[in-house]
Amino acid sequence: MSWTITAEHIDGLARGAAVLGTGGGGDPYIGALLARQALADTDVTVVGLDEVPDDALVLFVAMMGAPTVMVEKLPSLDEVVEPVRALGVHLGRPVTHIACAEVGGVNSTIPIAAAAALGLPLIDADGMGRAFPELQMVLPTLHGVTASPLAFSDEKGNTGVLQTVDNSWTERIARVACVEMGCSVMISGFSMSGVQARESLVADSLSRCIEIGEAIARARDSKTDPVAAAVALLHGRELIDGKVVDVQRATTTGFARGRARIDGAGDTSITLQFQNEHLVAEQDGQVLVTTPDLIMVLDGESGEPVTTEALRYGQRVRVAAAPADERWHSAAALAMVGPGYFGYDMRAHRFDGTISTGGTETESGVLSEGNEPR
């Protein structure tokens, strides 16, 4: 069922997207600014995955770079559509739909701006159901969709189009270009048919973001618990209610990397490790939850999501965990986004503390090696 997204949806959408963005995906305030600006003169039609024609030409539009830099380089509407235009030459036929590569404060709203500027419908779906730091880390990669041709562009007017041998090479080359171009570029790629989009995207993401974002606001307004409201919708659990007592963070090679410690009541303490997104939560040296499941930090009182670059000493926060889209638990997916890929020597732990076996794809019962640390 298609619906119209308007400026009134944006606050809820940006907030909910920042929750699912697990600390990454950019500042929801910046994302909301951009989307409201784009929707000032026009509405955008949002269509369900089941409504996308088989022969559609769907493109992701996203911002690539360090969220710490995105805050200082809000793109113009011209910039947002430039990579889509640059891809036109390569694809040879008109783009029909825009989709979100990930959910996150900026990358759920940039595509709205792109859809508005291009007069195209937006799909109520995304490529992850969460946020991840590298370009190849989307479910379409696991379904054989190529990131290439992928276009990137900066605010100065430089553009590039890559055609690479695999999606990891797209990431590598686009990343160094992104760093050279100022640590933040607009990208578009992963061209998909409607069939491929239905097969590989996470359905109803935008609706879900709005639902979560509005539930947090409603709970706050009615003096009930906004974090509990979000956790219930996510089918997750709360890990700790406490205070940020330590944050280490560095922006290196285009990523915001670091760790944070949150002390709760009694002697409880949780350590989070992040690379744009929160990837590992540990308690007393024991792994609680890891990527690909969701680890989220919310403001202790307002329930507002706290991005990794906004974490500050002394903040009252609550940390929650929730299940990722189940496709992220296949062996191939764990090899791509499991803790081992990010350099953490541990198995993937689901939000409830159980081990993710990587067995989703191996129906024979023989578990593959996808969950081994790299």
Is 1 one of the binding residues for a second copy (CB under 8 A)? Answer: no
283: tokens are: 């308690």
Which of 78, 180, 301, 326: binder of a second copy (CB under 8 A)? 180
What whole-number distance in Å separates Cα of residue 103 and Cα of residue 62? 10
Supply the minimum distance, in Å, between the C-beta of residue 374 and a second copy.
Answer: 20
Residue from the set 63, 86, 137, 239 that interacts with a second copy by CB under 8 A:
86
Please return the burial class of 324, using the count of CB atoms within 10 Å of its CB with bins 0-12, 13-18 and 19+: buried
Stretch that binds a second copy, among 173-181, 229-237, 274-282, 360-368 (CB under 8 A): 173-181
Helix (H, G, I), strand (E, B) or coil at 370: coil
191 binding a second copy? (CB under 8 A): no
Binding of a second copy by 91 (CB under 8 A): no
State the nearest-atom distance from the C-beta of 360 to a second copy, in Å: 31
Closest Cα partner for 289 from 338, 244, 256?
A: 338
181 is a contact residue toward a second copy (CB under 8 A) = yes
> What is the rounded CA–CA span in Å between residue 7 and residue 243?
34
Q: Which residue has tokens 């994302």?
A: 31
Write down the least CB distance from residue 368 to a second copy, Å. 26
Burial class from Cβ neighbours inside 10 Å (0-12, 13-18, 19+) for residue 34 reads buried
CA distances from 131 to 155, 331, 337, 371 (A): 24, 19, 11, 20
The answer to whether the beta carbons of residues 52 and 121 sit under 8 Å apart is no
* Closest distance to a second copy from the beta carbon of 197 (Å): 25
In the window 110-169, what residues touch a second copy (CB under 8 A)?
Answer: 156-165, 169
Q: How far apart are CA 119 and CA 113, in angstroms?
A: 10
Of positions 74, 177, 233, 287, contacts a second copy by CB under 8 A: 177
Contact with a second copy (CB under 8 A) among 4, 6, 43, 176: 176
Find, among 202, 225, 205, 212, the residue nearest to 127 by Cα.
Answer: 202
Nearest approach in angstroms of CB 162 to a second copy is: 5
Nearer to a second copy, 3 or 169 (CB): 169
Distance CA 41, CA 47 (A): 20
Which residue lies nearer to a second copy by CB, 159 or 271? 159
- 89 vs 232, which CB is nearer to a second copy? 89
Task: Considering the complex, state which of residue 150 and residue 279 has its C-beta at the smaller distance from a second copy.
Answer: 150
The β-bridge partners of 150 are: 162
Query: Which residues are within 8 A (CB) of 221 and not within 5 positions of it... i.e. 6 or more apart?
Result: none
The number of residues that bind a second copy (CB under 8 A) is 22
Q: Cβ(14)–Cβ(105) under 8 Å?
A: yes
**Does 366 engage in binding with a second copy (CB under 8 A)?**
no
Angle at 112 between CA 277 and CA 119, to 5 degrees: 155
Out of 7, 74, 76, 172, point to the residue binding a second copy (CB under 8 A).
Answer: 172
Whether the upstream peptide bond of residue 323 has omega within 30° of 0, thus cis, is no
Q: Which amino acid belongs to residue 213?
A: G
* Segment lying near a second copy (by CB under 8 A), choices 3-11, 176-184, 273-281, 282-290: 176-184
Per CB under 8 A, the segment of 53-61, 84-92, 217-225, 327-335 that binds a second copy is 84-92
* 243 counts as binding a second copy under rule CB under 8 A: no
In angstroms, give the least distance from the CB of 232 to a second copy. Answer: 45
Three-state DSSP state, 72: coil
| Closest CB to a second copy among residues 33, 161 | 161
Q: Of 32-40, 132-140, 177-185, 353-361, which segment contacts a second copy by CB under 8 A? A: 177-185
Token code pair at residue 46:
């949002």
Chain residues in the site for a second copy (CB under 8 A): 86, 89-90, 156-165, 169, 172-173, 175-177, 179-181
